[in-house]
């Protein structure tokens, strides 16, 4: 009789033991930060809960380029407990639509890798068109001229100064030093390269009053050919 009672007790207890497992449930797995200016940073804290009936253990956190993530809560969460994940996105060097992913690895048997996503749009405060100048022509056609447009896509007036070039062969002239939101100015470029050489490479640089885009650096190159 005792043997049958032990067997019955084992049958009753075994299912709950086998089915006990952690479960990582995100409160909101995605966050849209809207539109931000290039060079600025945005932060967001994701929340998640252990909705299972066994301890949830976070083993590691990984993020994509331009985004950092840090676990604010404990690595071990009891059933019912909440965790927090702080993310920071640095928009420097990005433009247009952006989507960044953070992965949280845990002992959740159903989903061992949970994805959190940051998305939005990065708008350049100062748009440079073109961002690079390249000349390709016969040597006897020198000097070469071109124009670079600078447009203020931000919300505050910008002041431009300290326009320089890296070579005496390259000259640059700015049409205006103040740039209101929505307006454009031009940099007139004149390149008189040494015709004894077949190539030229230099830069045009200037400073701006923007803390997010304090300097602008525009490459200028030329390929010089002889004859027709």
pLDDT tens digit sequence for 147-191: 999 999 888 899 999 999 999 999 999 999 999 999 999 999 999
pLDDT in tens, 40-58: 899 999 999 999 999 999 9
Q: Render pLDDT for 83-121 as a digit per residue (tens, 0 to 9).
A: 999 999 999 888 889 999 999 999 999 999 999 999 999
Kind plus residue range of the DSSP H or E element containing 7? helix 2-19
209 contacts: CB under 8 Å, gap ≥ 6: 158, 159, 160
Structural domains of the chain, ranges and CATH numbers in brackets: 22-123 (2.60.40.10), 126-225 (2.60.40.10)
Phi (first) and psi of residue 62, to 5 degrees: -130, 145
């Amino acid at each position: 009789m005792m043997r049958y009672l032990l067997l019955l007790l084992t049958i009753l207890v075994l299912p709950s033991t086998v089915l006990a497992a952690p479960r990582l449930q995100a409160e909101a797995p995605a966050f849209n930060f809207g539109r931000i200016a290039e060079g600025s940073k945005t932060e967001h804290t994701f929340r998640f809960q252990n909705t299972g009936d066994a301890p949830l253990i976070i083993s590691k956190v990984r993020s994509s380029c331009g985004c950092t993530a840090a676990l604010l809560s404990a690595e071990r969460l009891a059933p019912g407990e909440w965790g927090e994940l702080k993310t920071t996105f640095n928009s420097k060097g990005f433009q247009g639509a952006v989507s960044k992913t953070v992965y949280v690895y845990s002992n959740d048997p159903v989903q061992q890798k949970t994805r959190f996503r940051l998305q939005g749009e990065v708008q350049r405060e100062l748009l440079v068109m073109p961002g690079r100048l390249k000349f390709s022509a016969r040597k006897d056609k020198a000097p070469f001229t071109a124009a670079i447009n600078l447009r203020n896509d931000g919300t505050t007036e910008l002041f431009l100064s300290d326009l320089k070039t890296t070579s005496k062969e390259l000259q640059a002239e700015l049409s205006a030093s103040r740039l209101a939101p929505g307006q454009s100015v031009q940099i007139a470029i004149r390149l008189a390269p040494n015709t004894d050489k077949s190539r030229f490479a230099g830069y045009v640089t200037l400073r701006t009053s923007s803390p997010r885009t304090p300097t602008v650096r525009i490459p200028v190159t030329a390929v010089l050919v002889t004859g027709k």
